[in-house]
Amino acid sequence: MTQAKALISVWPIKVFLYPDRKTGEVNLTNKGEYEVNAQVYAKSWDVDENGKFIETDTGDFVFYPRLLTIKPGEEKKLRIAYDGDFPPLEKSYRLYVYELPEIEKPEKQAEKVALGFIPLLRLSLPLFVSPSKTPPAPQALAEEIEKTDKGVKVAVKNPGNHHITLQRVFVRLTGQNGNSIAEGEAKPHILRILPQRRVWVDIPIENLPDTTKILNSEVRFSLEGLKEEIKQSVPFGQNQAAENAPAKEQQQGGETHQ
């Protein structure tokens, strides 16, 4: 298997900017045996309800330097400045450091072709622009739960203004008397849910019984930065948000008529 020749260590592995800290630094150390030339840029990112990663070009940052040359054993500081207003909801980006190919004579390139393909280094770091330095305790809400071919899936929403990292989702399906019918769990490797977004999480359950016998479900979340699990009861096959909407509309209407 062909590996990249460049070997760059990075610290920190996440960058947080907020109103009192509009600039940040990333330290890049060349631990390889040859000089590395790299380019820096950022993209904003989002996820859809199925967890698909969506990236968009952005001009929200100023980098110094944007082009880096790092010699073997050398450490360089990359300075990052946010060029915009801080939003009420945290904004998420990816910081990219791409190794640039060497410019060589045709005969030198021919030698490399004979040796095989050498991939270039590509580093990607999370970059967050937050409305405050210290985020509140992470929250999660199960809005829906549905049957799938392999078990069930839960729509997990982040109702807060900072991203959350989902570590575990446990589901117990219960019947008429509250007795347990089936249960299952999922442990996503890294699942970040952005503010006011929701993502479907698949929960494998073998031999799922007849869903007509399932009346309710208990959902538990384990979130990064939160010691205790979040527990919630969700009617099976129903949308909690839609279920609450008519009551809210009715209340608002009553207030209008007063």
pLDDT at 191: 86
Question: In whole angstroms, how far apart are CA 155 and each of 49, 82, 128, 150?
Answer: 8, 33, 24, 16
Cα separation, 85 vs 19, in Å, equals 9
pLDDT at 249 over 80: no
Q: What angle do CA 71, 77, 82 make, to 5 degrees?
A: 140
| DSSP 8-state secondary structure symbol assigned to residue 239 | B
User: Using 50, 70 and 90 to split pLDDT, how confident is the model at 73?
Assistant: very high
* Strand-pair partners of 94: 43, 126
Domains of the chain and CATH, by start: 8-129 (2.60.40.10), 141-236 (2.60.40.10)
8 A C-beta contact, residue 203 and residue 186: yes
Cβ partners under 8 Å of residue 132, min gap 6:
18, 19
pLDDT higher than 70, residue 119: no
pLDDT of residue 110: 55
Handedness of CA 132, 135, 136, 142 (dihedral sign): positive
Question: The tokens 């996820």 sit on which residue?
Answer: 47
Task: Return the sign of the alpha-carbon dihedral for residues 61, 66, 72, 74.
Answer: negative
Residues in Cβ contact with 56 at an 8 Å cutoff, skipping those fewer than 6 apart = 43, 44, 45, 46
Q: What does pTM read for this prediction? A: 0.79
Q: What is the pLDDT of residue 237?
A: 73
Q: How far apart are the first and last CA of the chain?
A: 73
Instruction: Please tell me the predicted confidence (pLDDT) of residue 208.
Output: 84
Does the structure show a pLDDT above 60 at 109? Answer: no
Confidence of residue 243 (pLDDT cuts 50, 70, 90): very low
**Number of Cβ atoms within 10 Å of the Cβ of 79:** 12
Q: Which pLDDT score is estimated for 23?
A: 96
What digits encode the pLDDT tens for the residues 80-89?
999 989 999 9
pLDDT in tens, 132-169: 998 889 999 999 999 999 999 999 999 999 999 999 99
Burial of 67 (0-12, 13-18, 19+ CB in 10 A): exposed
Average pLDDT over residues 227-245: 72
Q: What is the DSSP letter of 32?
A: S
Q: Report residue 200's pLDDT band, with 50, 70 and 90 as the boundaries.
A: very high
